[in-house]
Structure 1
Amino acid sequence: MKKWLVVLIFLILATTSIFVGVNEVTVSGLMEGNPMQWFLLAKTRIPRTISLILAGGMLSISGRIMQHFMQNKFVSANTIGMMDSARLGILVVMLFYPTGSSLMKAFVAFLFSYVGVLLFLSLSRLLPKGDSLILPLAGVMFGNVISAIAIFFAYHYQLIQNMSAWLQGNFATVMEGSYELIYLTVPVVIVLYVLGYQITVAGLGEELSTSLGMNYQRLQFATFAFVALGNSSVLLMIGTIPFLGVVVPNLISLFYGDHLKNTLGVTLIFGSTFLLFCDILARVVIAPYEVPVSVVMGIIGGALFLFLLVRGRRL
């Protein structure tokens, strides 16, 4: 697929996202100065579309970088315990400082997710090599243990409803004044792009990158810190989006190759495009009601994941 075609589809879907919803927003209505349509455009449609673009790009780039760094095609924030650790961090804030700001929740979620991924990186060194599924399976089990701890305390302190909100990604509640924390993903993406060449070299392996004069451990810690920060902000604002961080990087590798630095841009756009498509579908499939985008992503992403899994096994 040509890169210009991906950009064109992205622009079409981003524009469509602004005009799709329960309440009518049309080009003619905006040109006529309809106050209600302008209100909806500014308060909900534009914030929602921006959130979709930033969240899709952040999760996709994170998955691409983690897969490259760990040399495993099935690694993502959801398969190494990062998101489960972040949810535990948010729960801790709600237990001990329930009036804490969104920024504070994001910071604590970042700390927990970063510690969680560092623990898993240490654990991964003990796992047998050779089977690409061992690492993500171990990560899923690691994340389930953390998730079980969080759910136990959520039930104990009657916070399970709040917990459920983080488990289900949904953009329906995104409004002006309540979504701006997701802009943290912008500097994170910029930094990761700047580090793109070094991460590309690091993906060749610790021994080779060290022999080339690179401080592999320091780069790994810094990279995963930025990934944890970006993913934590998405989790806090939107919730969990399954499969996106696994499927999009694999499709990018399939169409454009494995060179990380040269494909970060198209990964960003493709991930945003994919999430925009799923969210628009979630809004129209049983209109005027709306399905959480995580459900649509789970169906489409799950089917693509199975395809990639079977294809990888055959190769």
Structure 2
Amino acid sequence: MSPSRLAAPAALVLLVGISAVTGVASLSGGEWWILGVSRLPRTAAALLAGAGLAVAGVIMQMLARNRFVEPSTTGTAQAAGLGLVAVTLVAPGAALWLKMAVATAAALIGTAGFLALVRRLPSRDPLLVPLTGLVYGGILGAAATFLAYERDLIQYVDVWMNGELSGVMLGRYEFLWAAGALAIAAYVFADRFTIAGMGEDTSRSLGLDYPRVVALGLVIVAGIAAVTVVTVGMIPFVGLVVPNMVARFAGENLRRTLPLVAMSGAGLVLACDILGRLIRFPYEIPVGTILGVLGALVFLWMLNARR
């Protein structure tokens, strides 16, 4: 394996080591149980969430045929939050798996609605797509906030809509492995998603069952977004920044680039989580806040940078 291909895994291993030793409690005092109960689960949660969101972002960009979309800017995450509010109002004591199932269904419907809106937009102006997604997501988020406000559930919406890893412990993050499994499924069907990104007419001419591939992509994107929102909250811009950066250096063949997309997304979220722990040590800044600022700056750069 060439040195360039070893760089991403090596950087990821280094970040895992830094994350394991970063925290208020010192391991030198013999409190090694903190590793297994808190720090390693938190590190795993950051890796799984980052990898899943990056993969979901690149699939979303393929389906929408636009490089400026991802789950948090297309209403997917907001729809998952709306589903969580709805199931909490109807069945407050529902099991976590049931809430996750409802959030996934809501995210699936919300994503399908966004793609239906995108197909009606003129193709000559690609910036209309992310603008439509931001407005669409804002409407869904406002609906969730209104319902939560009427039932005194604003604190829950704040938790779901802001990515936060400080509460992750052993036994409270394991659903994120489902996001990892969905990312692996995306790699299995990577060639089909690459062809689907060429457009419906081209895909059909190449013998691809376009509606089925789109449906599969929607399920993967909605599932990853819902699992992430339920477990650690919404983490913005990962699915936007990472696929675009990887595409600039490695192209857009998903079979070749998807592992790098997943590793880069995992590393980005973990690095921002470490940064959030260090900026105001011993206090923490949520990883969603760090990525919100960083992602917005990179997004503005992408809009103005040369191809």
TM bin, normalised by shorter chain, reads over 0.9
For 1:137-173, what per-residue CA distance to the aligned partner results, in whole angstroms no more than 9, with x for missing partners? 1111111111111111111011011111112111000
Task: Give how far 1:193 is off.
Answer: 0.7
Q: In 2, are the aligned partners of 1:114 and 1:224 still within 8 Å (CA)?
A: yes
> Take 1:69 and 1:24, find their aligned partners in 2: how far apart are those partners?
47
Task: Look up the match of 2:172.
Answer: 178
Distance in 2, Cα, partners of 1:165 & 1:144: 17
1:114 shift after superposition: 0.1
Q: Find the aligned partners of 1:242 and 1:115 in 2 and give their Cα distance.
A: 20
**Which ranges of structure 2 fall in alignment gaps of 5 or more residues?**
none
The one of 10, 13, 20 equivalent to 1:11 is 13
Query: Which residue of the other structure, out of 80, 89, 92, is the alignment partner of 1:98?
Result: 92
Is the Cα contact below 8 Å between 1:102 and 1:181 reproduced in 2?
A: no
What residue is the counterpart of 1:24 in the other structure? Answer: 26
Alignment correspondent of 1:67: 61
Q: Which amino acid is 1:254 matched to?
A: R
Deviation at 1:25, TM superposition (A): 2.3
Give, in angstroms, the shift of residue 38 of structure 1: 2.2
1:213 paired to 2:207: yes
Q: Percent of counterpart pairs with the same letter?
A: 36
Higher mean displacement: 64-73 or 216-225: 64-73
Matching residue within 27, 32, 37 for 1:38 = 32
2:234 paired with 1:240: yes
Q: What displacement does 1:132 show?
A: 1.3
Aligned CA-pair RMSD: 1.2
Q: Deviations over 1:100-151 (max 9, x none)?
A: 1111111000000001111111111111111111011111111111111111
Q: Please give the per-residue CA displacement for 1:78-121, whole angstroms capped at 9, x wherever unaligned.
A: 11110110000000111011111111111000000001111111
Q: Give me the whole-angstrom Cα distance separating, in 2, the residues matched to 1:3 and 1:139.
A: 34
User: What is the deviation of 1:222?
Assistant: 1.3
1:188-199 paired onto structure 2 within 5 Å: 188-199=182-193
Between the aligned partners of 1:109 and 1:149, the Cα distance in structure 2 is 15
State how far apart, in whole Å, the 2-side matches of 1:141 and 1:182 are. 28
Indicate whether 1:142 and 2:156 are aligned: no
State how 1:162-311 maps to structure 2 within 5 Å.
Answer: 162-311=156-305
Runs of 4+ with deviation above 3 angstroms = none
CA drift at 1:183 = 1.2
- TM-score, with length taken from structure 1: 0.94
| Residue type at the aligned position of 1:48 | R
Give the equivalent residue in structure 1 for 2:104. Answer: 110
TM-score, normalisation: structure 2: 0.97
Q: Retained in 2: the 8 A contact 1:65–1:260?
A: no
Three-state SS of the structure 2 residue aligned to 1:207 is helix
Offset at residue 186 of structure 1 (A): 2.2
Contact kept, 8 Å, 1:88 with 1:150, in 2: the verdict is: yes
Q: Paired residues, what number?
A: 305
Between the aligned partners of 1:269 and 1:22, the Cα distance in structure 2 is 27
- 1:8-63, CA deviations, whole angstroms, 9 ceiling, x for partnerless residues? 1111001111110111125xx6xxxx3xx222111101100100110000000111
Distance 1:256 1:200 in 2: 14
Q: Matched residues in 2 for 1:285 and 1:88: separation?
A: 32
Unaligned runs of 5+ in 1: none
- The CA deviation at 1:296 is 1.1
One-letter identity of the residue aligned with 1:11: V
Cα pair 1:63 1:245 within 8 Å, conserved: yes
